[in-house]
Structure 1
Amino acid sequence: MIRLENITKIYSNGVCALNNVSLGIEKGEFVFIVGNSGSGKTTLIKLLMKELDSTEGKIFVDDKDITRLKRRYVSTLRRNIGVVFQDFRLLDKMTVYDNVAFALKVTEASNKKIRRSVPMVLSMVGLSKKAKMYPTEISGGEKQRTALARAIVNNPPILVADEPTGNLDPNNSWEIMKLLTEINMRGTTVVVVTHDKEMVNAMKKRVVTLNNGCIVRDVQRGDYGDEA
């Protein structure tokens, strides 16, 4: 599903964010990417989303080489990768319903599909009663669930969550992780970038550790580990 082959990313200031990284993630896997700040986690996500281009190496998503993907095809790639951010990135002037619907509208989905899909995904994340409320009127946990609903409403085969529990209390963090697990059990490949040591240790999923731009550990049913 996702394959990195000898990926190196050197920024214009000379900083090497990733150094000869190779990684394979199979369809339906749940993978944690961990590591200290500056280890290369954010760069890896940006490369997957085609926000950045690698200096060397190749990246394959669903067996398609996206390394030199032309800009006009990037939007198609991003429809296949749902992303949840730590800071939610919701539109404050839109209701919860409209924030989720917006992800469908940009793909030119029909009104019929929007009316069918949005209530269904809001129900899945437990926000049916919050549909008409605005982001300023809901809690942090509810904002993150709205962001999650927006990320999955297009039914993408891959879901990437970048520090999804970073701004949440422990109870809300567990709720988000339960939802990510449910989404994964439905067949979606889930990649979670996190600093949450307790969560990683409890979940017992695959853990890939980055340090100074290199993969230093890759463990099935692992824990956070000392290297992170």
Structure 2
Amino acid sequence: MSTVSVSRPTFSPIHRLGALVLDRVESVGDFSLFAIGVLGQLVSGRPRRRVLLETMYVVGVGSIPVVVVTGVFIGMVLAVQGYDSFHHLGMETRIGSVINVSLVKELGPVLAATMLAGRVGSAMAAELGTMRVTQQIDAIRALGANPVGQLVVPRFPGLLPVDSRFDHRGRHRRDCRWLAVFDAGPGRQQPLLLGPQPPLL
């Protein structure tokens, strides 16, 4: 009884590299088309008010506890770790200024953006994934509506004003509370950051 040998295709490293590059280019192209479609419908259409307000509430109000707790713990860690170094130099009073600059102005916005991206992005991805599994997106498409215009476009404008406003108000309030509670006024901050300043009069 004769056996028939089947030749298996062999893929060289060049073929695998080409397939990887094509896959990445296809992903970038799909995302670009998706972004262009969202921006086009955002300009031509009008988002639904209910979904817009709901998105602004979830992104803004719902993310405040996470951002505040993260900022508090990061600030405490910086204070504890930096105290020894400043103590050896006799500059314990400057630790507040350093934390104010490093956390409130530099590290705080990065942490806030990371927390918002992780929390809000995962929540929206889980919601859209559930709708995909339960065939709700197919139902929207079967009714003749565009799923992007119904699910993505109303949420997109709710993210931008809340994120920028949240970051601005967060900086302003933390600066004001720092100045009031810790007496970190301009007389303490400016000589360290900008050098001795001449009097105004």
Name the TM-score, length of structure 2 as normaliser: 0.26
Q: Which has the larger radius of gyration?
A: 2
Highest relative contact order (Cα 8 Å, sep 6+), 1 or 2?
A: 2
Larger strand share, 1 or 2: 1
